Amino acid sequence: MTPVASDMWIRAGKRFLERCIELLLLIAALFSVAITCGIVAILIYESSGFFAHVSLTEFFTDTQWTPLFADAHYGIMSLVAGTLVTTCVALAVALPIGTIVAIYLSEFAPPLFRETVKPILELLTAVPTVVYGYFALLFVAPLLQRIIPGLPTFSMLSAGVVMGIMIIPYVSSLSEDAMRAVPKLLREGSYALGANRLQTSIGVVFPAALSGIGAAYILGISRAIGETMIVAIAAGMQPNLTLDPREPAATITAYIVQVSLGDLPHGSIGYQSIFAAGLVLFCMTLFFNVIGHVLRRRYREAY
């Protein structure tokens, strides 16, 4: 073989190797799609077994959820109510506090203070949720019982409050990033018109960063809906169709945990019911994730 020809072969080999590597990397990237497909497939497959027994009307209109009792009822609404109430309590804590923290850190606090406090605040997300559950049940619940007499040990209120504090950094960090991305010119224009710092923050910076702040709120909501261990430990495990946060109630996630703690035969209706509950949960978070995605995109386009 002439040197030129052998050189050509080496080059072809190299190119082939490069293609192989690219293919391997593509497969790794596609693996994440496979995970999503796996999730959707298994949820739909097992739920379809469930819905062969339970009609959709019963699923959405029955007021009781007792799949493991002899007199079985399958009304998902009592679990959805639990999820909504704990989520609302958490948001009532996290959204106002998170927003004020974001405005304070982005517009008011001295830089050194901000740079010190932000990492500490973000440590709140590093605490395992089972530890928060312990804290909600054994520290916050007794504390709340002193303020609200007659509050039971297990209540959606104590679980929701702790969940809310856990979510604060999710809301505040993203909102703060959005507010700091607002150009300085807008603030200076506002000052020039005689507005003070607070008026500028609320009247100019906040609206300008609104889609980013919206995305932060949505992230908080979807965290709260999917949160499991805090509610499983502190909110009680009994399905309870109520909107009163002072009562104990099971959420969708708590029900799934409760069932899997027991010994449930694979393929039974109880086993399938956790997948049906999971499907409802998945759809709820997907809905909020899609809105969040759209908002984030708009926020990126803004400046």
Residues 139-168 that bind other proteins (CB under 8 A): 139, 165, 168
Beta carbons of 151 and 202 less than 8 angstroms apart: no
Site for other proteins in 245-264 (CB under 8 A): 253, 256-257, 260-261
* Contact status: 129 vs other proteins (CB under 8 A): yes
Q: Which is nearer to other proteins, 38 or 207 (CB)?
A: 38
* Residue 26 found at the interface with other proteins (CB under 8 A): yes
CA distance 209 to 181: 8
Which 64-83 positions form the footprint of other proteins (CB under 8 A)?
A: none
Site for other proteins in 29-48 (CB under 8 A): 29-33, 35-36, 38-39, 42-43, 45-46
> Apex CA 220: angle with CA 216 and CA 221, to 5°?
115
What residues numbered 196-225 form the site for other proteins, per CB under 8 A? 196-199, 201, 219, 222, 225
Q: Within the chain, where are the H helices?
A: 3-53, 56-61, 77-103, 111-122, 129-135, 141-147, 156-180, 184-192, 197-200, 206-208, 210-226, 229-234, 252-261, 269-302
Helix (H, G, I), strand (E, B) or coil at 65: strand
Contact with other proteins (CB under 8 A): which of 110, 149, 150, 265?
110
For other proteins (CB under 8 A), the number of binding residues is 86
Told to check if 170 binds other proteins by CB under 8 A, we report no
Binds other proteins (CB under 8 A): choice among 95, 274, 295, 299: 274
Task: At 3, list the tokens.
Answer: 């040197």
Q: Which two tokens stand for residue 205?
A: 């910076």
